[in-house]
Amino acid sequence: MSLVEKYAPQLPYLRRFARALTGTQSGGDAYVRTALQALVAGDVDMDDSLSPKIALFQMFLGIWNTTGAQLESDDVPGADAQSVRIHKLTPTSRQAFLLNALEGMSVEEIAVIMGISSSDAKTLLEQAEADIEKELRTNVLIIEDEPIIAADIEGLVEELGHTVDAIAATHTEAVKAAEKKKPGIVLADVQLADGSSGIEAVTEILGDYDVPVIFITAFPERLLTGDKPEPAYLISKPFRPENVKAAISQALFFHHG
């Protein structure tokens, strides 16, 4: 099997990873070209015992860590908000985070690619997650009419380091709370205390502010109709705490506002 046949199917993933690692499309593509040139020229050794994707990523990071990582600066011209956040992580924790979050690599695979122990890979992931949560800390508006559920959500939010500005039980309360202080993220139920709609409250808030929204509801069918844009983050009640936490972090991280 030729080099092209063996590694070409993995190149789109490597380009995606490289762009996220460097913070820009041009920077990522440049380093992928450098790695491929070294591969074709026979200047790098590939571990044939590994899968093509693992071997390719291992080779790429070997080149990156001896060149690109030393040339990094805090400023990433042309980078989007996500790339800037990632770039604030230490180089090794950023590599581990992207291999896991973007490429779906396991701790063991990350360890092989980075040439470290599994325990060190796990530590890097934990460090990255903690740094990202710190970077994403914001103020939260909870729209929920059940006091016990609202208290549970508030606790989960605060465990992530965020601040709950208000808990609204009706459409009117929610809009007034958002007007008083723009939320960094909204967690909303669909059916509210006075019969009003959390969907309508969120729609009104989004008319004034560009913020991420997570619906936590016992009525997901009201949002999954296929007739209009559906929410990216929808959690059904009863919910699992870890799902809410993950949705909050993802919504904040990937929001473009």
DSSP 213-230: EEEEES-GGGT--SSSPP
pLDDT (average), residues 221-225: 68
Number of continuous H segments (helices) and E segments (strands) in the chain: 12, 5
More confident: 141 or 198: 141
CB 162 within 8 A of CB 248: yes
Is 0.95 surpassed by the pTM of this model?
no
Mean per-residue pLDDT of the chain: 85
**Has residue 64 got a pLDDT over 80?**
yes
CB 132 within 8 A of CB 82: no
Angle between helices 25-40 and 52-66 (to 10 degrees): 110
Bridge partners for 141 per DSSP:
166, 186
Say what percent of the chain tops pLDDT 90. Answer: 44
Q: Give the pLDDT band of residue 257 (cuts 50, 70, 90).
A: low
Per-residue pLDDT at 168: 97
**Has residue 165 got a pLDDT over 70?**
yes
pLDDT (average), residues 200-210: 93
pLDDT in tens, 14-32: 998 988 888 778 888 988 9
